[in-house]
Structure 1
Amino acid sequence: MDDAKACQWQDPERGDHDEGRYFLRNTSVQNFLWSDLFVTVKDRQTKESRDLIHNISGDVNQGELVALMGPSGCGKTTLLNVLARRPASSGARVNGESYINGAKIESRKFGRMTSYVEQEDALIGSMTVQETLKFAADLSLPSTVSKAQRIERIDTLLESFGIQKQANTLVGTPIRKGISGGQKRRVSVASQLITCPKILFLDEPTSGLDSTASYEVISYVKELAKANNIIIIASIHQPSTTTFQLFDKLLLLSSGRTCYFGPVSNVDDYFGKIGHPIPGNTNPAEFLLDIVSSDFSKLNEDAQARVEDIQQSWTKSVEAESVNKQISDRLSMAAGEKDNAAADDMARPGSIRITAALLHRSFIKSYRDVVAYGIRIVMYLGLAIMMGTVWLRLHPSQEYIQPFVNAIFFGSAFMSFMAVAYVPAFLEDRATFAKERANGLYSATPFMISNFIIGLPFLFLISILFSVVSYWLSNFQPTAEAFFTWVMWIFLDLVAAESLVVFVTAIFPNFVIALALVAFANGLWMSVGGFLVTPTILNVFWKYVFHYIDYQAYVFQGMMVNEFSNRIYSCGSGCQCTYQTDLASQCQIRGTGVLEEYGYATGRTGKWAGILVGIIAVYRLFGWIALTLRKT
Structure 2
Amino acid sequence: MISSDYVLELCNVFYTGQVEPSTCIQRVMGGIKTGVILKDVSLTVQSGEVLAVLGSKGSGKKALLDVISRRVQGPVRGQILLNNQPMSLSLFQQRCGYVSHKCDFIQGLSVQESLYYTPTKASGYTKKTKVKQVMADLALSQMANKCTENLTQSEYRRLMIGVQLIKDPIILLLDEPTWDLDPLNTYLVISILSNAAKKYGTTVILTMEKPRSDVFPFLERVLYLCLGDVVYMGGTRQMLEYFNAIGFPCPQLENPLMYYLCLSTVDRRSRERFVESNHQIAALVEKFKIEGNAYHKGTLNQHTLDHGTLIRHESKMPLMQGKPSSFYVGWILYTRLLVGTFSFRKAGLRQLFLRLFFVPLYFLLLWCFYNNIQNFQHTFITRNGLIFNVLATVSLLGIVNTILIYPMYRTRYYQESQEGMYGGTLFLITYNLVSIPFSFVSILGASAIVYPLVGSINNDPVQFILFALILWGCYVFTEQQTMAILMIVKDYLTAAILSIYVTSVCLALSSGILRSMKGLQDWLYYLTYATQIRYAAAFLSRQVFLNPDLHDALPFDAQRNCTNMNLIETSNLNGLTNTFCRYANGQSFLTERYARDNTDLIFSGILDSELNIGATFAFAAGMIIFNMFLYLLPLPAFVKAKFREE
Shorter-chain TM-score bucket reads: 0.7 to 0.9
Q: Identify the residue that residue 532 of structure 1 maps to in structure 2.
A: 514
Q: Identify the residue that residue 554 of structure 2 maps to in structure 1.
A: 571
1:276 Cα shift?
A: 4.5
AA matched with 2:129: E
Q: Identify the residue that residue 35 of structure 1 maps to in structure 2.
A: 11
Matched, 1:98 2:74: no
Q: Give distance in 1, aligned partners of 2:319 and 2:213.
A: 41
> Which digits, 9 at most, give the CA deviation of each residue in 1:391-413, with x for residues without a partner?
23212332111111111111112
Q: Give distance in 1, aligned partners of 2:205 and 2:350.
A: 36
Matched, 1:468 2:448: yes
Which of 614, 620, 626 is the aligned partner of 2:624? 620
Matched, 1:132 2:114: yes
Gaps of 5+ in 2: 570-577, 595-602, 641-646
Q: Give distance in 1, aligned partners of 2:248 and 2:509.
A: 71
Q: Identify the residue that residue 249 of structure 1 maps to in structure 2.
A: 221
Cα 1:475–1:199 shift into 2, 3 Å = same
Q: Which moved more, 1:529-538 or 1:593-602?
A: 593-602
Which of 318, 339, 346 is the aligned partner of 2:321? 346
Matched, 1:401 2:380: yes
Give the superposed CA RMSD.
3.3
1:322 Cα shift?
A: 3.2
> What are the residue-to-residue correspondences of 1:186-585 with 2, within 5 Å?
186-294=158-266, 296=268, 299-317=270-288, 318-322=290-294, 333=309, 343=318, 345-368=320-343, 369-375=348-354, 377=356, 379-418=358-397, 419-472=399-452, 477-479=457-459, 480-530=461-511, 531-545=513-527, 547-569=528-550, 570-572=553-555, 573-575=560-562
Q: Which moved more, 1:566-575 or 1:428-437?
A: 566-575
Cα 1:284–1:577 shift into 2, 3 Å = farther
1:514 Cα shift?
A: 1.8
State the percentage of identical aligned residues: 20
Cα 1:41–1:116 shift into 2, 3 Å = closer
Larger radius of gyration: 2
1:377 Cα shift?
A: 4.9
1:475 Cα shift?
A: 5.9
Q: Give distance in 1, aligned partners of 2:33 and 2:362.
A: 56
AA matched with 1:160: D
Which of 117, 123, 127 is the aligned partner of 2:99? 117
Check whether the contact 2:356–2:439 (CA below 8 A) recurs between aligned residues. Answer: no
Cα 1:312–1:589 shift into 2, 3 Å = farther
Following superposition, which runs of at least 4 residues in structure 1 exceed 6 angstroms of deviation? 323-332, 576-580
Q: Give distance in 2, aligned partners of 1:380 and 1:295.
A: 60
AA matched with 1:96: G
Q: Give distance in 2, aligned partners of 1:381 and 1:511.
A: 24
Which of 51, 64, 84 is the aligned partner of 1:79? 64
Q: How many residue pairs are counted as aligned between the two chains?
A: 588
1:476 Cα shift?
A: 7.8
Q: Identify the residue that residue 136 of structure 2 maps to in structure 1.
A: 159
> Which digits, 9 at most, give the CA deviation of each residue in 1:84-120, with x for residues without a partner?
111x25xx22222200122324432332111112211
Q: Give distance in 1, aligned partners of 2:65 and 2:115.
A: 25
Cα 1:98–1:302 shift into 2, 3 Å = same
Q: Give distance in 1, aligned partners of 2:389 and 2:565.
A: 25
AA matched with 2:273: D
Gaps of 5+ in 1: 8-18, 20-27, 173-177
Q: Give distance in 2, aligned partners of 1:300 and 1:596.
A: 81
Cα 1:543–1:110 shift into 2, 3 Å = same
1:587 Cα shift?
A: 11
> Which digits, 9 at most, give the CA deviation of each residue in 1:270-296, with x for residues without a partner?
444455544443444444444434483
What's the TM-score, normalizing by structure 1? 0.84
Cα 1:620–1:70 shift into 2, 3 Å = farther
> Which digits, 9 at most, give the CA deviation of each residue in 1:230-250, with x for residues without a partner?
101112222322134422222
Cα 1:624–1:510 shift into 2, 3 Å = farther
Q: Give distance in 2, aligned partners of 1:264 and 1:206.
A: 19
Q: Which moved more, 1:263-272 or 1:59-68?
A: 263-272
What's the TM-score, normalizing by structure 2? 0.82
1:448 Cα shift?
A: 0.9
Q: Give distance in 1, aligned partners of 2:457 and 2:267.
A: 71
Which of 590, 595, 605 is the aligned partner of 1:595? 590
AA matched with 2:328: R
Q: Which moved more, 1:110-119 or 1:46-55?
A: 46-55
Cα 1:221–1:325 shift into 2, 3 Å = closer
Q: SS of 1:405's equivalent?
A: helix
> Which digits, 9 at most, give the CA deviation of each residue in 1:318-344, with x for residues without a partner?
553336778997887469x99x97636
Check whether the contact 1:504–1:514 (CA below 8 A) recurs between aligned residues. Answer: yes
1:516 Cα shift?
A: 2.6
